Amino acid sequence: AKKQGKNRHFWFERSMENELRFRNELETGIRRGVQQGEFVPYYEQQIDLDTGELVGFEMLARWNSPQLGLVKPDIFIPVAEDMGIICTLSEQLIDIALEDAKQWDPSITLSVNISPVQLRDQWFAQKLLKQLVKHNFPPQRLEIEITESCLHENIALVRTMITSLRNQGVQISLDDFGTGYASLSQLKTLPFDRLKIDRSFVGSLSAESPEAGSQLINAIVSLGDGLRLPITAEGIEDAHILELLREMGPLKGQGYHYGQPETSAQVQQRLTALNRL
Ligand code: C2E
Ligand code: CA
Ligand code: CA
Ligand code: CA
């Protein structure tokens, strides 16, 4: 038994060591990836559920790592946030995305995710507006998605930045709504343009008892109505969920039912087929 315990201790230390090594390699890789331009935007369609029309794309970051292959943001965004490199990374991706989106029909919007770390920078709004000017991109076509976790940081600063972005026409969405800390009073006092219902709620519509899920979504939809905030439902995975959502009122939606996130080239093909490039 003693021998076994020693062994376990050994393996424990080994796995800690491995984890640290992996983390170190990840950080080095991310730093180099930013320098080498290995991060690329993918795009997910956003649909007007009433008309079925394509109305926008959400940009989702991917890392084309020479060692790891195509890496999802859940792996590198938290690390990039810790490293503080998220601001540079995001700026880089937005530069590319704005150029991509300029090729699209001007009726099509671009949504980008903004990390709470970026919102701690008091110059964030100015920098983003400067970027729009640099690319000659109409602010009205840009939407930024922030999560509820931004709201328990420096609310006063966040409000100031949101307000100056909105004054220029940028749309502000509250992402992953329902999973975080937003209080109803914050919803009223912060100037959002839209709520995005988290895909965990939307996914519950396909569960064995979809009634509970649909009551919850109905509640969010009527909250949105009351606050005059339009709603996007994310994570629509099948036609059944889509049908249920369409009955709940005019919504925007996105999800794998419409397709996986695509590269800029794939988006161009899609838009060419739709005659909207
Ligand atoms: P999110 O903003 O909630 O983005 C939606 C995520 O759900 C995306 O995962 C998307 O691929 C996935 N998804 C979309 N439709 C479906 C569906 O029907 N079913 C399921 N199961 N999943 C679906 P992804 O691309 O891995 O992004 C994960 C998260 O990473 C995003 O969640 C966002 O919070 C963050 N993220 C992505 N790009 C950026 C970025 O450029 N900057 C920052 N700060 N965060 C980013
Ligand atoms: Ca999002
Ligand atoms: Ca989301
Ligand atoms: Ca999410």
Question: Which residue, by CA, sits nearest to atom 30 of ligand 1?
Answer: 73
Q: What is the model's pLDDT at position 108?
A: 98
pLDDT, block means (10 residues), the chain with 277 residues: 61 81 95 98 98 98 97 98 98 98 98 96 97 98 93 87 97 91 78 94 85 88 93 96 93 97 98 96
**Distance from the CA of 173 to the center of ligand 3, in angstroms?**
10
Lookup result for tokens 């009527």: 222
Q: What is the DSSP letter of 114?
A: -
| Cβ–ligand 1 contact at 73 (below 6 Å) | yes
Q: Is 216 exposed, middle or buried (0-12, 13-18, 19+ CB in 10 A)?
A: middle
In angstroms, how far is CA 270 from the centroid of its own chain? 21
Question: Which residue, by CA, sits nearest to atom 14 of ligand 1?
Answer: 255
pTM for this model (two decimals)? 0.94
Question: Which residue, by CA, sits nearest to atom 45 of ligand 1?
Answer: 113
State the complex-level ipTM: 0.97
The first and second tokens of residue 194, run together, are 């839209």
Q: What is the model's pLDDT at position 144?
A: 98
Contact by Cβ (8 Å): 245, 28:
no
Q: Which atom of ligand 1 is nearest to the CA of 257?
A: 18
